[in-house]
Amino acid sequence: MAYYYNEPSRTFSEYLLIPGYTSPECVPSNVSLRTPLVKFKKGEESSLYLNIPLVSAIMQAVSDDKMAVALAREGGLSFIYCSQPIEEQATMVARVKAYKAGFVVSDSNLQPDDTLADVLKLVQKTGHNTIAVTDDGTAHGKLLGLVTSRDYRVSRMSPTMKVKEFMTPREKLVTAPENTTLKEANDIIWEHKINQLPIVDKDDRLLYLVFRKDYSQHKENPQELLDSKKRYMVGAGINTYDYEERVPALIDAGADVLCIDSSDGYTCWQKRTLDFIREKYGDSVKVGAGNVVDREGFLFLARAGADFIKVGIGGGSICITREQKGIGRGQATALIEVAAARDEYFNETGIYIPICSDGGIVHDYHMTLALAMGADFLMLGRYFARFDESPSPKIMINGTYVKEYWGEGSNRARNWQRYDLGDKEKENLSFEEGVDSYVVYAGPLRDNVAKSLYKVKSTMCNCGCTNLADFKKNAKLTLVSATSIVEGGYHDVILKSTSGSIT
């Protein structure tokens, strides 16, 4: 007969942390969230670290080059999604590696003969009101003008009016040459009282835009995740289908670390992918694998050569794998078992393989619980999809701003490679394992990440810990009953509305 587990699989919401002794040193400003990203031997250091334990999910709706820059600036890492042509993914990686802090490559570009209707459509798509007008409509074409919200009034202008009729023309623009430093650019902005400064090359081709509103963000961030050449670090997803072509392209583009994107990591296909990378690159290319939910899955990928291992099947907010296939495990239970296997493997081999908890994070405190349960870092999708920096547009639905968020297993993404089981006659999605949805817009990444991680640090202080290694070792957790969960929220009171009335 089939094997049955004696205990039910648990979610993060079924656990609470028990406070420990808080010493005078246990204040949030003293807490370090630095954590290893890839495996290392006992007594040695990992070759790659994260300054915060957060990475963004390998999803179309989450991780592009814009998200990668924003998250690296805060100390985390993005894995650029792989459900796109190899060349386009490699280009995104290259843009992150070439990024100069404060110098933005324009993502809103038109030609002079385009119309006001095109302007409005582009603003709706990108959410950005500054549009570069170039001779070929590209980000690096010859600069002919700029269009901002000050240049047009929808109520008084025809949607067919051409851009060249109302744009601010090149001769009226203040620009700067390509060797301009960020400090010099900001000085020009303030001197001329302008909101944006185009940076052009000797042929007057647009290179970057520097914005007044970004000034405060240009200051050095001590948490920035940088490589040895002071470039932002970036990861990239790969699949088990076209890895022989995709991996070399991503490495050439400058990817710092790769991760196999798959719903199930306990497969021969993942081992074949890892074998290919090891045979071609040895240990110089770092690659994570997954996802798994138990000891056997972890040990399989550990022995196959994974540099980190992702944990979780079916716990994502847009994932319906459990509904469709009846496979998966509660995220807390999966993480606890895999963390124990990670420690067992370390004691036997002297090799520490970081584990990444992927899915099941609904509230900020779930992050803290996942770290206490043994996760070295967390992969988040819905959390990052809500921010300005995610790829999807911000739209209003029923009076609320939202952003679109869809699963890689949805018909919209059609990422069949993620669910590839080696059947070359089934190169498509036979059924959905993800949904197409909205998430409530939450604003800029920087503000939200800072708030979430302050909560993590504060809780760690309550538990008497100032680093993640001690937290994983010393944390005490307790299961809670259904009644305890109710007790944990507000109860037996009448809430006031924001107007002061009773609701």
CB 374 within 8 A of CB 53: no
CA 457, 463, 466, 468: dihedral to nearest 10 degrees?
A: -80
Comparing C-alpha atoms, which of 253, 309, 268, 291 is closest to residue 418?
Answer: 291
Determine the straight-line distance between the first and last CA of the chain, rounded to whole angstroms.
54
Which H helix or E strand runs over 448?
A: helix 445-462
What is the spatial distance between Cα 267 and Cα 331, in angstroms, rounded to a whole number?
Answer: 20
Comparing C-alpha atoms, which of 237, 210, 229, 212 is closest to residue 59?
Answer: 237
Single out the catalytic residue among 26, 82, 259, 319. Answer: 319
Q: Which residues contact 172 (CB under 8 A, 6 or more apart)?
A: none
Q: Which residues contact 353 (CB under 8 A, 6 or more apart)?
A: 39, 302, 306, 307, 308, 309, 342, 345, 346
Give the length of the chain: 503
What is the spatial distance between Cα 345 and Cα 307, in angstroms, rounded to a whole number?
Answer: 13
- Write down the H helix ranges in 6-139: 65-74, 86-98, 116-126
CA 60, 420, 247, 296: dihedral to nearest 10 degrees?
A: 100
Q: Which residues contact 328 (CB under 8 A, 6 or more apart)?
A: 293, 313, 314, 315, 321, 322
Any catalytic annotation for residue 259? no
Q: How many CB atoms lie within 10 A of CB 136?
A: 11
Sheet of strand 436-440: strand arrangement: 394-397, 400-406, 436-440
Single out the catalytic residue among 418, 446, 463, 465. Answer: 418
Peptide bond into 411 cis (omega under 30): no
What is the spatial distance between Cα 333 and Cα 336, in angstroms, rounded to a whole number?
Answer: 5
What is the spatial distance between Cα 302 and Cα 345, in angstroms, rounded to a whole number?
Answer: 8
Any catalytic annotation for residue 356? no
Comparing C-alpha atoms, which of 73, 93, 71 is closest to residue 81?
Answer: 93
Query: Which tokens is 411 given?
Result: 């018909």
What is the spatial distance between Cα 430 and Cα 415, in angstroms, rounded to a whole number?
Answer: 11
Residues identified as active-site: 319, 418
